[in-house]
Structures are given as structure tokens and as C-alpha cells.
Structure 1
Amino acid sequence: MKSSISLKILLFIVGLIGFSIGIALLFFPIAFEASANIHLNKNDFSLLSEIRASGGTLLVFGIVIFLGAFKSSMTKTSLQTAILLYFAYGFSRLYAIIVDGMPSQTILNAAISEIAIGIICTVFYFKHKE
């Protein structure tokens, strides 16, 4: 995979987003979800476990994506990971809208952003493919 400064910047930013949201969900789920007007019960240990698990997953995938900005041997894997991760989240949210109804504006914005990031990463993938 051909690397470029713009690709490295993309992987840096997209990886940092995943890493940051992962940190927030893993270590501060109640406060982070409250920012989207989602109010969690601190005694709902099962739900908190589910949220923290997705946070840990995002954190790890964010690191993988982020490393692609600095290690050229990881660029392709990082970009593929970003495509899969952001499309999975974005399209899962679209599915949730269809079956559950319209979420808050914050969640809707997240879905739009995730799909947009997935599209941008896909364009970069085909543009830089050898």
C-alpha cells in the first residue's frame, strides 16, 4: 500500500477518535453516555459491562488504526480496520433507527460521522492501493 502524508493524517485522526471514545466508554461510561443524554444506572452492572467491553474494543482498534500512521507495515491493516470499524458502527446505528426509532441528535450525528469516516477511509484505500 502506498503511503502519503494525507493517509497518515487520516489514520492518526481516525485512530485517535476510536482510542479516545474507547477510553471514555471503558473508564467513564456513565459520564460519557450522559453527554449524549443517555442516563445509566451505576448499579446496572450487566449494562455497564457491555458498554465497557465495547469501549475496550474501540480502544484496541483505535490503537491499531493509530499505529498505521507511524508504521508503514501496518498501514493497509490499519486502513482496513478503520473501514470495518466505522462502517460497522454507522450501519448498526442505521439498523437501530429502522427497528427502534430515531435516537438523540448526538447519536444521529455519530452515525453520520461514522459512515462518513468509513467512506473516506474506503476512498483512501482504493486511492492508495498498489
Structure 2
Amino acid sequence: MPDSLFTRGLLGLAGLAGLSVGAGIVFAPVAFHATSGIHIGSDVNLANEMRAAGGPILAGSLFILAGAVRHRLIRPALALATLLYLSYGAARLVSMAVDGSPGQALVLVAMLECVIGAACGLALLAHRGSPARKDV
């Protein structure tokens, strides 16, 4: 499965999902978080912290999308997607264990992050032994 349509589609999905989340957090954090029942209000410090967290998601997602179109970036993009999605999913699971269960929307987000991260991790393992190829 070195250069499969599935892998490129997975990277496209992971990249677009992250891009929408990152852009929402950076450019409209109050409205974005309100969709999950989180109210930032007029706390400038909290809004600043939220926007700052969105930047790496946005940048990483652009790289993941690049991996969907450039063969030489597939492996690093899969590695980044695996790290990004599984770290968010794992952190949410820790929070659920320590803080209790959040709203249904955030539980669904945690499940999606874990599924996307695991799928990217499995695709990365499948690409580990594949020979390198020049972009066409």
C-alpha cells in the first residue's frame, strides 16, 4: 500500500478536519468553542490561549494536506497526523478519567480523534517498509 488512494484520502480527511478546527480556533475561537458548549465569554487571556493552541493545529494540518498530494511527504504527514490526533484523543481520555465525562459533542470528538489517529498510525506502519519514490 505504498501510495494508495486510501492513504491519500486518509491524509486529505485528516488534513481538512484539522484545517477546519485550527482555522476555527484561530479566527473565531468564541464561536468555534460555543458549538461544543464551551463559553469563552470576554476573557481576553482565555481567547488568546485558545487562538495560540489553534496555530499548531492549523500549521500541522497544512503539512498533512501536503502529504496527500506529494509522495515524498506521505510518511512524515502520516507520522504527524498520528501524533496530532492520538495525542489529542489520549489527552481527552485522561481528562474524562480525571475530570469526568464532558458533553456528548466532546466525547464524539475524542472518539473521532482516536479513530483518525489509529488509522493514520496503521497506514504509517504499512508505509514503513515501502521504497521511496520520486514525485511525479
Q: State the number of aligned residues.
A: 129
Q: Is the 8 A contact 2:75 2:127 kept in 1?
A: no
Question: Which residue in the other structure is 2:66 paired with?
Answer: 67
C-alpha deviation, 1:32, in angstroms: 0.8
Partner SS, residue 68 of structure 2: coil
Partner SS, residue 69 of structure 1: helix
Counterpart of 1:27, as a letter, is F
Question: Which residue in the other structure is 2:89 paired with?
Answer: 90
Question: Which residue in the other structure is 1:81 paired with?
Answer: 80
Counterpart of 1:30, as a letter, is V
Question: Which residue in the other structure is 2:9 paired with?
Answer: 9
Counterpart of 1:118, as a letter, is G
Question: Which residue in the other structure is 2:26 paired with?
Answer: 26
Deviations 1:47-102 (A, max 9, x none): 11111011111100100111001111111100000000000100000111111111
C-alpha deviation, 1:120, in angstroms: 0.7
Q: Which runs of 5+ in 1 are unaligned?
A: none
Deviations 1:7-66 (A, max 9, x none): 111101101111110000000111111111111112x11111111011111100100111
TM-score w.r.t. length of structure 1:
0.95
- Residues in 2 aligned to 1:90 and 1:118: alpha-carbon distance in whole angstroms: 8
Counterpart of 2:66, as a letter, is L
Counterpart of 1:81, as a letter, is L
- Residues in 2 aligned to 1:48 and 1:101: alpha-carbon distance in whole angstroms: 24
Residue identity over aligned pairs, in percent, reads: 36
- Residues in 1 aligned to 2:82 and 2:19: alpha-carbon distance in whole angstroms: 15
Comparing 62-71 with 118-127, greater Cα deviation is found at 118-127
After TM superposition, list the pairs within 5 Å mapping 1:97-116 onto structure 2.
97-116=96-115
- Residues in 1 aligned to 2:39 and 2:46: alpha-carbon distance in whole angstroms: 12
Aligned Cα root-mean-square deviation (Å): 1.1
Question: Which residue in the other structure is 2:134 paired with?
Answer: none
Q: Segments of 4+ in structure 1 off by > 2 A? A: none
Question: Which residue in the other structure is 2:133 paired with?
Answer: none
C-alpha deviation, 1:129, in angstroms: 2.3
